[in-house]
Structure 1
Amino acid sequence: MPNEMIRKHKISACHASFFILISLASIPVASASETRITSNITADAIYRESEDNEIRSDETVGQLNPTLSISYQSARINASINARATYLERDNSEALNTQRNTYGSYNYSSRAEIIENLLFLSVDGGFTYRDGNALNFLTSDFINNSDSLVKTRTNSVAASMQTQKNRKFVANGTARYSLTETDQSEQGTDRLEDNNYSLSGNAQSNATEYGFIWNVSGSYIETERGESSQSDFMTRNYVANAEINVIDDFGVFVTTLHDAYQYESESNGVTTQEFYSFGAGITYRQNNQRFLRVAINRQIDPDINVELADDEDINEDDYFLSSELRWALSTRSNVSANYTRRSTGKTGQFSLNYNTRRLRARINYNDSVTSYSRLISSPESLGLFVCQQGSSDISSCFQPASLDYDLKAGEQFVDFLAPNYEISEAVINRESLIGQVGLQGRVTNLSFNTRYSLDSSVDTGRQTRTMSYGTSLSHRLGVRTKLNLSLTYAKVENNLKSTVGLDGESENINGSIVFQHTFRSPLSANFGFYYIERDNNILIEEAIGLKERRVQLSFTYTFANRNGARNANSQNNN
């Protein structure tokens, strides 16, 4: 019998925000705090030539962008909010009248330490625009293809418990609620209004002197899908291991795994897929940061995956091998991997972290059953560079010296190559590979990024594959002058299995060359060349192509920062 889904009442963003404010108000005043307010305004003059389906046009665009950032930091609280407005005025060769458009966006984040070194509360969210059509990846903005952009709102609140890593027993847990909402675009994409509830945690023993260690981890996520969907979408999993040392660095261990998901669709009704296994194996362990495990496992119910498993061979044999590797290459570099089975068949994860003083590299692969609303509210990120919130200019970003860097108020980890997410209620099995290399020198910052993703609908079989490669470079030409280069290529293949709708693919390019100069006053100027190309091929319709060239001159005026600070002495004197 399918497990019944647990229904939950929706929590509005207003109620969540009220809860946060009450919680923060109960925290004792920190001994030192700092409030920073920054603002600037940018004026752009743009000349644009485009060729869309062999129709050529040109236009001039005036753009005005005021921004405001407010951040607060104390010993126990970090909080920030960033707001940006974009006003466009365009005069093209085809329009009879001048076109005017205004767009707004914002993001906010905060983190409070409720109990010192133990309990934390965080809230974050924002409002932005994104393209809901995967084939338009990298090529849509407020100037080009703006009718494909979809208003997207996210709000989340989370409580997490984190124990100190140097203890003999470590436990961590997080409870999180998020709301993802999108409008419907003019091109008719789906509309999202999903509430996501999640519980996750892990616990393990770190003491190896007694010859016995154990660990357990698990998660439960439920998504209340919008009015158009028939039911909630649920995933859950847990893994538990217990290990005994036998001789020298060798030992034996037992393991058990459970993985399941459930959803409802119009075509297949309620779909539930569950997987249980247990096994035993051997371990080679030097310490908790260097070990290898190999086990033989048995499915508890060999028939449970007959109808829905992705891999046919999962039903050919009740027994299968699993392995887990964690190996510290140095104090700053490590590799980890595991291979097993779950409710959709064979699965694996891989992670490589390589760090030197100036060069950093990260590779991460995983696959999971998820949804686009979950991905939008918690995007995949490796984040080698730290930038100010709302900024993705590599010239103003840095790689932190610490591998466990705690973000300050107004800071965020930035990926210079974004993931490609659709606006859809589909339940998908997502395979994702992310690679990043970052170099920070005295005069040059360089980031190379690659992403691969394969999203397979577990209901219809429809697939979307995205392969993208990008590089961003900033080189200081002088004391006040920089050269910024960016080039990104993506190939998107849509609906590979031809089960529904149209088959299509698109090869997209986005590149820029920008010269940046800062004057002695709070004024800076950018002069850049931009190129966008999209070559869509939809098999049932004619090819859809776009080539666009832009020349852009920008001036930015930064207003004097207001920095309010108070220290313990001034408070005591009062």
Structure 2
Amino acid sequence: MDITTQKGKTLSMRASQRNKKNWLPVLSPLALVLTAHFAHAEGLNVSASVEAKSLLQNRHSDVRNEELLTLAVTPEGRIGYTSRTFRGYVTGSVTQMERDSDDVVRKDTYAEYGYGASWEAIDNLLTLETRGSQRFLDNTGANFLISDYFLYAEELVKVETQSYSAKLTLPQGDYIAGGGSVNYSTGDSSESEFRPTTTFNNDSMTSDFYLMNGNDAQNYFWTATGMYRDLERDEQTSNGDYSGTYLTGSLDSMVYGPIGIRLNASYDANELTDRTDEFSNKRQFRSYGVGLTYRQDAGHYVAITANKVNSDVERDDGDIFVGIDTRWAITPRTSFQATYGRRFYGKSGSAALTYNSRKIRGALRYNEQVTSYSQLVANPQSLGIFVCPIGQFTAADCFQPPSLNYTPGEGEQFLQFIDSGIELSNAVILRKSAAAEMGLQGRRATVLLNLQYADDNFLEFNRQRTIYSATVSGTYELGRNTTLLGSLRYGTTEQDNGSTASDNEQWLVSTGLRRKFGKSLSGDIEAGYIKRSGTLATSVYGPNYDERRITLTVRYEYE
């Protein structure tokens, strides 16, 4: 976001930033020329596109009413490479926009990129991965569902992330199996026009491992897991660094057929440095338990235990709680996994459910973790339901894989999404989140459903935020070259600061047609409606407003 002009007068809002970005319009055609030149090199999957949009926006709010005509041009390049041991991709786009209202002409430029690579350094043993991106996100997280270049331009913030990881897998042997990973990620952001966001600037490191019995186990079955997190935050904008360790272990001793005795233990330690409250010292939480296991095999077992707490927090020390651990393949296509117990913050649980058939795929995942927003941005989720071309994540572009164990091919990746309600801050949060995704693909129709829930408890101060979101998008082929498009999004944010509470509700509905004019040229026409209401005011338009928009799009694809 670099230039704002009034008719007859040019305002240089950020001269230094604008000068740094003068190379972007030059880079765009140059990138397309290079992309075309190498398009047919062996092992590469290369594509490029140019998209032009024209939007008519009619906006009404408590603060102001306006009508805008917006023009946007976006050249984009995508490169993917796949070999036996290496997979990688790079995407880049530059969106140049001009907004024209009754008294203001505003010009903006948004440059985004993404990359990822995975190298199997040692076959079936060691994999090295990296990924990164530059994108524009809603500063507060309160308008996560409807923020884009055309609405909330003043609130968007440029966010850069990088992630590097190493994954080790021990082959299933006679006596032991397991694996582990180490991940290092960084997050940084610029500032929006109206809000400083220097607090989103930190480095994080996570590592985890799991070990379990091998194939020869008959009467004794054991597992051990561990996780370590370390977050280094900007000293000027936070109250110290965070570190956490979580270890669990269990042993099943079979005593009569499928019935066995289970012993288990856990260790949980968390610390925030440079603090003067109860987090100033390392908080440790331990538990030990014994119970019964019903076990048919590694994919069919249920364990229930009684556990005693040994904690530094006096109110928890000595408590007895019930723990549950189960994994069950209900049918060959349906599996379920769940745990329930206690951690330092209280009751804790996790769950996962998957269903796979030829036409319908579904996945549900629930987990709880102490984390930061930078870690969530740097590590988007993927439930493996839909496969998409690199850099494109809409139902119109993605497809359901033909097999249950599909490996993305050249120029493909599984559908990814960032958790809802990301706030650009260095806060340490306890996030209890659930994500569900379901895909349906028929001969003519494709439907994609995404549901998300997140409950964020800020550990350093009295604040809690809950987010719900639902997205349904689909396509229907009316003919060989004509497709009906549709999308419905809904989201709510509830925030409690201890003394005050606020909320908002967001709706976005759109429908349209896509027409292909040959192999490379296509056009869209869409009508959309956006509505926001509530008491959580984070926008220059106030808490309540609505917008109607008509969008014309022309797209040229090169492959």
Distance across 1 between alignment mates of 2:194 and 2:334: 46
Aligned twin of 1:252 = 261
Distance across 1 between alignment mates of 2:417 and 2:241: 33
Aligned twin of 1:461 = 462
CA drift of 1:539 comes to: 8.7
Contact (CA 8 Å) 2:376, 2:419: kept in 1 or not? no
TM-score, length of structure 1 as denominator length? 0.85
Contact (CA 8 Å) 1:133, 1:189: kept in 2 or not? no
Aligned twin of 2:309 = 299
Contact (CA 8 Å) 1:384, 1:415: kept in 2 or not? no
Range moving further from structure 2, 429-438 or 164-173 = 164-173
Matched, 1:435 2:457: no
Aligned twin of 2:283 = 273
Aligned twin of 1:212 = 220
CA drift of 1:327 comes to: 0.3
Runs of 4+ that moved beyond 6 A: 539-542
State the AA in 1 paired with 2:223.
Answer: N
Residue pairs, 1:170-181, within 5 angstroms: 170-181=177-188
Distance across 2 between alignment mates of 1:447 and 1:362: 12
State the AA in 2 paired with 1:504.
Answer: S
Contact (CA 8 Å) 2:61, 2:542: kept in 1 or not? no
Aligned twin of 1:550 = 549
Gaps of 5+ in 2: 1-40
Instruction: Give secondary structure in 2 for the equivalent of 1:144.
Output: coil
Matched, 1:93 2:79: no
Contact (CA 8 Å) 2:211, 2:224: kept in 1 or not? yes
CA drift of 1:125 comes to: 0.6
After superposition, the Cα gap between the structure-2 partners of 1:108 and 1:549, relative to the gap in structure 1 and judged at 3 Å, is same
After superposition, the Cα gap between the structure-2 partners of 1:448 and 1:162, relative to the gap in structure 1 and judged at 3 Å, is same
Distance across 2 between alignment mates of 1:209 and 1:179: 42
Instruction: Give secondary structure in 2 for the equivalent of 1:373.
Output: helix
Distance across 2 between alignment mates of 1:417 and 1:373: 11
Aligned twin of 2:532 = 534
Distance across 1 between alignment mates of 2:503 and 2:421: 14
Contact (CA 8 Å) 1:417, 1:450: kept in 2 or not? no
Contact (CA 8 Å) 2:381, 2:418: kept in 1 or not? no
State the AA in 2 paired with 1:305.
Answer: V
Matched, 1:76 2:85: yes
C-alpha deviations, 1:386-440, integer Å up to 9, x for none? Answer: 1122212212211223444333343332257852211111111111122222111
Range moving further from structure 2, 334-343 or 405-414 = 405-414
Residue pairs, 1:302-317, within 5 angstroms: 304-306=312-314, 314=316, 317=318
Aligned twin of 1:143 = 150
Distance across 1 between alignment mates of 2:519 and 2:369: 51
Distance across 2 between alignment mates of 1:401 and 1:258: 43
Matched, 1:482 2:483: yes
C-alpha deviations, 1:220-257, integer Å up to 9, x for none? Answer: 11011113224211111011111111111001121110
Contact (CA 8 Å) 1:80, 1:409: kept in 2 or not? no
After superposition, the Cα gap between the structure-2 partners of 1:431 and 1:364, relative to the gap in structure 1 and judged at 3 Å, is same
After superposition, the Cα gap between the structure-2 partners of 1:416 and 1:81, relative to the gap in structure 1 and judged at 3 Å, is closer
After superposition, the Cα gap between the structure-2 partners of 1:354 and 1:167, relative to the gap in structure 1 and judged at 3 Å, is farther
Distance across 1 between alignment mates of 2:385 and 2:190: 32
Number of residue pairs aligned between Structure 1 and Structure 2: 515
State the AA in 1 paired with 2:437.
Answer: Q
After superposition, the Cα gap between the structure-2 partners of 1:454 and 1:200, relative to the gap in structure 1 and judged at 3 Å, is same
Instruction: Give secondary structure in 2 for the equivalent of 1:135.
Output: coil
Contact (CA 8 Å) 1:79, 1:110: kept in 2 or not? yes
Aligned twin of 1:127 = 134
C-alpha deviations, 1:183-226, integer Å up to 9, x for none? Answer: 23233253222111111110111436531111101011101111
Aligned twin of 1:44 = 53
Distance across 1 between alignment mates of 2:180 and 2:434: 26
Instruction: Give secondary structure in 1 for the equivalent of 2:461.
Output: coil
Contact (CA 8 Å) 1:82, 1:107: kept in 2 or not? yes
* Seq. identity, %: 28
Matched, 1:118 2:125: yes
State the AA in 1 paired with 2:425.
Answer: S
Aligned twin of 1:196 = 204
Contact (CA 8 Å) 1:265, 1:459: kept in 2 or not? no
Which of 491, 514, 517 is 2:515 aligned to? 517
Instruction: Give secondary structure in 2 for the equivalent of 1:339.
Output: strand
C-alpha deviations, 1:51-85, integer Å up to 9, x for none? Answer: 12252211111110100011111111111100011
Which of 300, 308, 319 is 1:290 aligned to? 300
Distance across 2 between alignment mates of 1:534 and 1:457: 25
C-alpha deviations, 1:354-373, integer Å up to 9, x for none? Answer: 11111112221111211111
Residue pairs, 1:482-501, within 5 angstroms: 482-495=483-496, 497-498=498-499
Instruction: Give secondary structure in 1 for the equivalent of 2:280.
Output: strand
Distance across 1 between alignment mates of 2:126 and 2:377: 26
Instruction: Give secondary structure in 2 for the equivalent of 1:270.
Output: coil
After superposition, the Cα gap between the structure-2 partners of 1:354 and 1:166, relative to the gap in structure 1 and judged at 3 Å, is farther
Distance across 2 between alignment mates of 1:366 and 1:132: 25
Which of 229, 234, 240 is 1:226 aligned to? 234
State the AA in 2 paired with 1:245.
Answer: M
Which of 74, 86, 110 is 1:65 aligned to? 74
Matched, 1:105 2:112: yes
After superposition, the Cα gap between the structure-2 partners of 1:391 and 1:359, relative to the gap in structure 1 and judged at 3 Å, is same
Distance across 2 between alignment mates of 1:475 and 1:182: 39
Distance across 1 between alignment mates of 2:171 and 2:553: 48
Distance across 2 between alignment mates of 1:285 and 1:325: 10
**Over the residues paired in the alignment, what is the CA RMSD in angstroms?**
2.2
Distance across 2 between alignment mates of 1:172 and 1:402: 26
Distance across 1 between alignment mates of 2:275 and 2:536: 27
Aligned twin of 1:357 = 358
Distance across 1 between alignment mates of 2:171 and 2:275: 48
C-alpha deviations, 1:329-386, integer Å up to 9, x for none? Answer: 1222101111111111110111111111111122211112111111111234424111
CA drift of 1:525 comes to: 0.5
Distance across 2 between alignment mates of 1:237 and 1:266: 21
Matched, 1:183 2:190: yes
Distance across 1 between alignment mates of 2:478 and 2:417: 22
Range moving further from structure 2, 154-163 or 187-196 = 187-196
Aligned twin of 1:390 = 391
Distance across 1 between alignment mates of 2:201 and 2:536: 29
After superposition, the Cα gap between the structure-2 partners of 1:531 and 1:439, relative to the gap in structure 1 and judged at 3 Å, is same
Contact (CA 8 Å) 1:536, 1:543: kept in 2 or not? no
Residue pairs, 1:332-347, within 5 angstroms: 332-347=333-348
Range moving further from structure 2, 232-241 or 47-56 = 47-56
Contact (CA 8 Å) 1:236, 1:261: kept in 2 or not? yes
Contact (CA 8 Å) 1:380, 1:419: kept in 2 or not? no
After superposition, the Cα gap between the structure-2 partners of 1:189 and 1:197, relative to the gap in structure 1 and judged at 3 Å, is same
Distance across 2 between alignment mates of 1:331 and 1:56: 56
Aligned twin of 1:243 = 252
Aligned twin of 1:155 = 162
TM-score, length of structure 2 as denominator length? 0.88
